[in-house]
Amino acid sequence: MFRFRNEGGFTLTEVILGLLITSVMVTVLMGTFAALLKGEELGQRDYSRAAELFFMQFKPYLLQSSGYSVSPDQRSLELVTIRSGSPEQSSFIHHNQRIVRQVNGQGYDIFLEQVISAYFEEVQGGIRLTVELSDGRDYSRQFRRPEHGGIGSEPE
């Protein structure tokens, strides 16, 4: 009497598969949306980590140097290190939104990016280094020289 074969509709398998695909897409989009909402906070943490890593990388260069001088505009720092009996001059400078290190005026190593400004200041017993990154915050550390009361850095 009744024939259901030509009636349109979805099988149970097709409905379950459709729900599965939809739920996966919603889960992915919610994760992406949440990351976008927290993007500013995550970026803030990344800048802080980058600054801390830079300070950790900078410290050995200063401590191994036999002398240093800060430029009059406080935008660069010259370090002199004796390697294999000959002097090596390293310059830390702010260039193209980066802090780079040049050795004997040739080439450069990138130490920190997204730098708005960088200042090197001679203070009693060492150097204070202040950088402003693209997040608008200043990060500063004071580094003491061994002959001035100990090895180390002091956060500010």
What is the number of structural domains in the chain? 1
Asked if the structure places residue 128 within a domain, the reply is yes
* 67-to-64, 126, 131 alpha-carbon distances in Å: 9, 11, 22
- pLDDT per residue as tens digits for the range 129-138: 999 998 888 9
Q: Determine which helix (DSSP H) or strand (DSSP E) holds 139, and give its type and residue range.
A: strand 138-144
Range of the domain at 96: 48-155
Identify any residues that bridge with 152 across adjacent strands, giving them in sequence order. 144
Asked if the structure places residue 73 within a domain, the reply is yes
Kindly state the average pLDDT of the residues 121-150.
81
Asked if the structure places residue 136 within a domain, the reply is yes
Asked if the structure places residue 86 within a domain, the reply is yes
Asked if the structure places residue 16 within a domain, the reply is no
CB distance 126 to 112 below 8 Å: no
Q: In degrees rounded to 5, what are phi and psi of residue 39?
A: -55, -40
Asked if the structure places residue 40 within a domain, the reply is no
Closest CA to 138 of 48, 25, 11, 67: 48
Asked if the structure places residue 58 within a domain, the reply is yes
pTM: 0.63
Asked if the structure places residue 29 within a domain, the reply is no
What's the confidence (pLDDT) of residue 99? 92
